[in-house]
A and B are shown apart, each in its own frame.
Chain A
Amino acid sequence: MLKSFCIRLLLALALGEIAAQSPARASDFRHDVQPILENYCYDCHADGENKGGVAFDKFNPDANPAESRDLWLKALKNLRSGLMPPAKKAQPTDAEKQVILGWIKSDIFGIDPNNPDPGRVTVSRLNREEYRNTVRDLLGVDYDTQAEFPPDDTGNGFDNNGDVLTLSPTLLEKYLNAAQEIVSQVVPVTSKVIAERVISGGELAMDAGTPKKSLSFSYYDSTSVAHPFQIQHPGRYQLVLNISADERYVEDQFDYNQCRFVMAVDGQELFHRDFSREGGQAFHFQFDQQWTSGDHVISFHVEPLAPEREQIRSLNLRINSVTLRGPFDEKYYVTPADYRRFFPKDVPTGAAARRDYAHELLKNFATKAFRRPAEDQDVSRLVKLAEAVYSQPHQTFEAGIAQAMLAVLASPRFLFREETLEPAGAKASAAFVDEYSLASRLSYFLWSSMPDEELFQQAAAGTLRTNLDAQIKRMIADPRSEALTKNFGGQWLQTRDIMIVPIKAGRVLVQDGVSKTDPIAISAVGAEHLSKGFSEADLDTITRLNFQGEADSYFNYIMHQDRDVAEFVDSDYTFLNGRLARFYGLSELAVQGDELRKVTLPADSTRGGVLTMGSVLAVTSNPTRTSPVKRGLFILDNILGIPSPPPPPNIPPLENAVSAVAGHTPTLREALSIHRTQPMCASCHDRLDPPGLALENFNAIGMWRDQDHGQPIETTGQLATGETFHNVRELKQLLATKHRTDFYRCLTEKMLTYALGRGLEYYDVETVDQIVAQLQKNHGRFSVLVAGVIDSAPFQKGRTAIALGENEPPKSSEHFANVK
């Protein structure tokens, strides 16, 4: 009792301090705010009216502001987005709006613009992407976390949210297995091994005069290739042949060709085998050899066995590599390739010296893996673990170190991103995160990976915070920033989904009257589906990859060329290759080849900007048809940041739309307009449908079309904020000009959410506003957005223990992003 009283007292003191620092109340509710509300809002939200559950006359300005936060957050969002008051009603002046917004921020939210509450980031487990990249940067191993770990749960649209990333026993088991697998892949457990030399497929291909990754033999031709090699020490060797038998898949047609493959060393046949179709199977053949020192030659020969059979599947044998292992005599053993990377010195003799060496090695490794200096006591425990292994008979020192490294990778300090605050005044409610935490915040934001050596050194020297601009620039220029494109861009624009979204391209084409003889059909479903199964065929993988490539290249371009982020919404360019240009009906641009490149679009083009990219158009569609509702929702959620209320819990039964339209199958516009005659549906679908319907000229696979179910497509519509548009070009222009600030704010909220790994709260409103103001001043440049996010209080700081108390201030019951 006494304890909780003290805590409350401390908390009150802490909060009191914040209040004391904040400026005098900007305006008084009764005097300044209420009259404006009476003028513009009371018609629907007072005196017995409470549309949307909002009644302003029920608000008590003398009560604790925390009680009405949700109400005013809703009001702020609706007022700012222009949704309220409705377009057809009288509108407050900008000055009046500012009075209300300022009052909400200062009096209700208690925000001090000079010292905002940085909020709290829950200690975050590495997600699958972060784990994979971190292991890659730490050890040089590419571990396929997509296959091995369960997908991460997401919150607020991103999979790096500390609150939602949970840990189950099964996942911990997977982490343990992964650590074992990763360490055993790269860390050598002995200092001497049998020498091994790999003759790559590329080297062999050079002998055949074809600069390729591997040496290929067609089943249909008689061919020979020889490769000379030298042996230094005479003795026993092992030769391993790595080969695969490939084919190009052709539906329902087989290829009965066969060939004989012969391998010889120094003219002596070592091996022959007859190959027929093997379905891409890989083979490894192993041979023991006695070789003298000096020159040798390995040769391959392929002879067709059924020359009269039809050649359908481009059957070929591919030699991926030949490995020469030996000599087996121990005196010729060599140090393993990666040995010095992990063990820079020879292992000393003597228990104490070994222990010191182990300490040195493990301190370095743990410090990197934990992304902050490992304490000596922790390292000592690791050394003990290593010692317990290497002091056993038949165990090497290296095996002991490997075991301790495994422990590091399974430690919560590796798996979670623990943060520390800089010391702050006894009464301060917020403090800077320390430099190591800052380094990690930067690297996981921009690279989805651990800090590199330079960030780490800057953090160690305590110079990172003062050199942020240069570091951000360097980090964006680094290829690792591709992670921002993939993980932030890929989730914000949902382009990550393009490879998995079920899209029945054949059916879409049939519906739009495109025949399978149309060349476009090949790019839509892939050549193998043209002959059979056309109408069930999925969207072709190459087209999906092109869609993804276009979106990623576009994001990369805006990032690296530091463009105005408004170009995400509208621009006169996109990224195309020959196939995608044809797919989009832009053959006249004469784009050729597979390489995606920036292409300036014709003045009247409907493309340009993310909304008319194949990726966005496809991921917002159903498998066989477009979904104007999903597309409209995409625009509201990801471009405008306009609150879109969720569908009602109990959907009223709808009569079959077909019967309501006489004479023909209804277009989606017609079906949706029937839907909107239900008042319960109309309130939201009036917002959702029009921008979605503006995209109806693009089918579910992103191709242009003029008709839907034989009816001309009508794209005219009105935004919920009142502006009308006639087609997608006008819609994009509206979004990029009149709603530019809304888009800046929407993107800022998304990026801040991603960068922090937490949902935004009411107290973040001011932070977002400040970044948006910077964007407005600086032509919306991408770098200004990134710097704004990184410089912001929530990114730089954390709540101190005194602000957290033992019982943290409760979160607002409704989350920022969910307030509709």
Chain B
Amino acid sequence: MKQSHMQSAAQRRASLSRRHFLRGVGACLALPALESFFPWKLVAAENAGGGLALTASGAPLRSAFIFFPNGAIQPNWWPDTPGADFKFNSTLQPLADCRDYVRVLGGLDHLNAIGGVDGGGDHARGNAVFLTGMHIKKSATDLHDGISIDQLMAAKVGRATRFPSLELTCDDARKTGACDAGYSCAYQYNLSWSSPNTPVPAEFNPRSVFERLFGPGEHGQRVQNNQIRQKAQQSVLDFVMDDARDMQKRLTGTDRDKLDQYFTSVREVEARIQRAEQFGPAPDPLIETPDGVPSDQTEYVEIMYELMALAFQTDSTRIATFCLAHDGDNRSFSQIGVLEGHHDLSHHENNPERIAKVAKIDEWYAEKFAGFLKKLQSMKDVDGQSVLHNSMIVYGGGNSDGNRHTHTNLPIVLAGGGGGTLSPASYERFGSLPACNLFLSLADRMGVQGLERFGDSTGRLAKI
């Protein structure tokens, strides 16, 4: 029988050495002189103009947006009493260790994820609206969303780091066939949008992520390999730009949009190369490059979190998104004894047994998230604070009740200290406000200037 590509994917996954990488990250933390990763002089020079993602102490300020699929079991998710004295309910209990840095935000909505005349397709909308807050066009081919908050931040304040933003996902394979109810699959798999018709596909391969951040090859060779790569890239950019210009003249209509994406990409790659020159060589962590996609789901999610933490710690980027799984994901969770598909279960029809299983999945996701927060807490930043203190991390989903597909009172947690700008731990209930109000408030703190509105925002959140 001919070997199919899927088979080779399966083999690739199966052949990975276990926990190699995770062990390594610990070793990296022992590296001295984290400060050397940080281009202080450049920052001082640039910050004269303002508009950089910095804390008051001059340390980097990071934003991350982490998405989990299929909503959450509401009674288990929300704490019982609002305010500073709140107690975690079962789902968020794993966050107890980092409680000081956690705010549970109730009453935030994505009204644009509600179907209305567009009808079904709540998973496509739950996914695509989550970071944009915009109405998405119901079409299998004609994409129209809004720019997502992470990409907006990246465009405004991303120049301070080697990478304006980092997009990660644990969806390494996609289902074929049509997606949710007539929406293009692009909606259901992409959180980040750099323009209303340009999704930013996330990286699924831990090896690629690592190599992009730090260079290919083994420790000791990465700096040089990276330079070789970038030199080769740079040498052809002029040529391909000319080629694209010639081609653009011959094109019309939507074809021009496609070439525009090419132009934008070339410019962005050029800018990245310039930044690399400006900032000097990227750090070369003393860890083995991760192998590829682990066959084990737990390991996969943990490695991606580790990579995000590493990217923050080394100040490779200050803006990241992580799609744990696209909305509607139907994975099973044998690691916690839940064999049924997540999406299948989420339509629990009020069956207590099924509800309990979904809650278990919700808790598993929260536990992995807690692991990430703890990792950030253990990382010392340039100003002596923890990286968690100097971060703002949104953790949430685009559906609230997965059984009924609702998009109000979304399950959202805001973690981190915002460099001291976020209020102490509490459970806030906003009644009914756009989730975009939160994003707008975070954008302010990131140094984005002159932003009046974002998505369907109606203002800023008074208290976070």
Contact = CB atoms under 8 A, between A and B. Distances in A.
A168 B198 contact: yes
B452 interface: no
Contacts of B1: 545, 549, 594, 596
A500 to B, nearest CB: 4
Nearest to B1: A549
A37 B176 CA distance: 39
Contacts of B413: none
Given A122-B258, A154-B185, A378-B246, A385 B236 contact: yes
Contacts of A174: 208
Contacts of B9: 146-147, 499-500
Nearest to A654: B349
Contacts of A171: 201, 265
Contacts of A382: 239
Contact of A157 (B176, B253, B268): B176
A351 B394 CA distance: 61
A648 interface: yes
B276 to A, nearest CB: 12
A209 interface: no
B2 to A, nearest CB: 7
A522 interface: no
Given A166-B261, A412-B240, A494-B175, A156 B140 contact: yes
Residue from B10, B122, B269, B349 whose CB has the most chain A CB atoms within 10 Å: B349
B240 A410 contact: yes
B186 interface: yes
B212 interface: yes
A647 B275 CA distance: 48
A815 B177 contact: no
Interface in B223-248: 229, 232-233, 235-236, 239-240, 242-244, 246-247
A164 B186 CA distance: 7
A801 to B, nearest CB: 7
A22 interface: no
A804 interface: yes
Contacts of B199: 153, 166, 168
Interface string B376-410: 00000000000000000000000000011110000
B332 A504 contact: yes
B235 A759 contact: no
Nearest to A655: B350
A170 B201 contact: yes
B236 A624 contact: no
Given A655-B349, A656-B349, A172 B208 contact: no
Given A157-B176, A482-B2, A163 B254 contact: yes
Contacts of A385: 235-236, 239
A651 B114 CA distance: 12
A491 B251 contact: no
B36 interface: no
Which of the listed residues A144, A172, A420, A594 has the most CB atoms from chain B within 10 Å of its own CB? A172
A551 to B, nearest CB: 11
A406 B115 contact: no
Contacts of B212: 170, 173
Interface in B167-207: 167, 171-182, 184-186, 189-190, 194, 197-205
B340 A623 contact: yes
Interface residues of A, number: 107
* Most chain B CB within a 10 A radius of its CB, from A129, A177, A801, A817: A177
Interface in B107-156: 114-116, 118-122, 138-143
Interface string A371-390: 00000001001100100110
B247 to A, nearest CB: 5
Contacts of B190: 153
Given A157-B178, A499-B7, A758-B141, A180 B115 contact: no
A121 to B, nearest CB: 9
B119 A648 contact: yes
Interface in A479-508: 482, 486, 490-491, 494, 496-502, 504, 507
Given A151-B174, A155-B185, A541-B10, A651 B269 contact: no
A407 interface: yes
A122 B255 contact: yes
Contacts of B243: 378, 411-413
Contacts of B178: 154, 156-157, 637, 817
A622 B344 contact: yes
Nearest to A577: B1
B177 A172 contact: no
A412 B247 contact: yes
A321 to B, nearest CB: 20
Interface string A241-266: 00000000000000000000000000
B420 interface: no
B141 A651 contact: no
A30 interface: no
Given A172-B265, A623-B344, A651-B403, 19 more contacts: A120-B253, A148-B208, A155-B141, A172-B269, A177-B233, A406-B236, A415-B262, A418-B250, A491-B176, A496-B176, A497-B175, A500-B9, A501-B175, A594-B1, A596-B1, A647-B181, A651-B404, A653-B404, A818-B138
15 contacts: A122-B255, A148-B205, A153-B199, A154-B178, A168-B198, A170-B212, A407-B240, A412-B262, A497-B176, A499-B4, A549-B1, A649-B114, A650-B405, A653-B404, A815-B141
What 8 A-B pairs are tightest by C-beta distance, nearest first? A649-B115, A646-B181, A646-B120, A499-B6, A169-B268, A172-B265, A153-B186, A150-B201
